[in-house]
Amino acid sequence: MTTLGVNGATGRMGRAVVETARERADVTVGFGITPGADAPEAGTDSDLPLYPPESTDEAFAAHDPDAVVDFSVPEATVTLARKCAAADVALASGTTGFEDDQFAVLQETGQAVPLLLASNFSRGIQALLRALGPALEALSGYDVELLETHHNGKQDAPSGTALTILEEIAEYRDFEPVYGREGIQPRTEDEVGVLVRRAGDIRGEHEITLAANDEVLTIGHRAEDRAVFAAGAIDAAVWLVGREPGLYDFGEVVGVGED
């Protein structure tokens, strides 16, 4: 049985992780970490003990987690990473939007404990990334456009997943990203349009369009429920336990891309 902590336990994804874990026999959530007024006094919640971020060390000591699943904001993830490194606790994080100096801290953490960073914990997105390369190779002269849609509360734009997709495209062609278009702006051959929508409670949609030669190829993925990402994050956390320190990728967890 793997014991997990959840950072951002009262957020959209944190709640999904807790709920998904309760349906599994291989993991248990020992505690949650949540900021400010959302956190009752540590240990008083009979359902799930909740701790404020400043009491993370206390939570680690009380519950001895094997790993922590993190869906929060960059500043909170960086602070948590330092505490995980000090306590020898693995960390699986789905937080995105890190600045260079913040990512440097995470790299240091990966030298002390196993750390997995994922812009998306969906197995379908991993399959999409694997399919995208051959499509780009086969349609090398085609225009490429990327559209991503998320709920109205998402802060970073484009999404971390969209940036991961752009990184994959960059493996196959040189391009200049164009973030939205306005006015007279004719398309150039070496650009990829990146379009962002934020609306309602949309879990996550990503669509890549390749078009030319009087034809259109669309490769897309839509998450119907946050449980998709929660299940993947839990799988990643379980997979990390007992591994050597290092920075890991979710593709390694699901085996996508292996020969």
Summarize pLDDT for 230-248 with one digit per residue, the tens.
999 999 999 999 999 999 9
Q: Are residues 51 and 89 in the same domain?
A: yes
Indicate if 137 and 237 belong to the same structural domain. Answer: no
Please determine, for residue 156, whether its predicted confidence score (pLDDT) is greater than 50. Answer: yes
pLDDT confidence of 47, banded at 50, 70, 90?
confident
pLDDT digits (tens, 9 = 90+) for 95-142: 988 999 999 999 999 999 999 999 899 999 999 999 999 999 999 999
Please determine, for residue 44, whether its predicted confidence score (pLDDT) is greater than 90: no
In angstroms, what CA-CA distances link 258 with 105, 126, 164, 252?
Answer: 29, 12, 18, 8
What is the pLDDT averaged over residues 181-190? 91
* CA-to-CA separations, 191 to 114, 160, 186, 211, in angstroms, rounded: 37, 19, 11, 13
Residue 221 appears among annotated catalytic residues: no
Domain extent, residue 47, equals 2-121+226-254
Please say if 83 is a catalytic residue: no
Q: Are residue 9 and residue 93 in the same domain, yes or no?
A: yes
Question: Is 259 a domain residue?
Answer: no
Residue 147's beta-bridge partner residues? 195, 207
Say yes or no to pLDDT of 46 above 70. no
Q: Does the residue 74 lie in any domain?
A: yes
Q: Are residues 79 and 168 in the same domain?
A: no
Given the residues 150, 151, 206, 221, select the one marked as catalytic. Answer: 150
Tell which residue, 25, 102, 39, 34, has the closest CA to residue 68.
34
Are 162 and 194 a contacting pair, CB within 8 Å?
yes
- 83, 154, 206, 221: which is the annotated catalytic residue? 154
Residues 62 and 169 in one domain: no
Together in a domain, 153 and 140: yes
How many separate domains does the chain show?
2
If asked whether residues 107 and 234 sit together in one domain, one would say yes
pTM, full prediction: 0.84
Whole-number pLDDT of residue 256: 57
Residues 135 and 63 in one domain: no
**Pair 106, 162 in one domain:** no
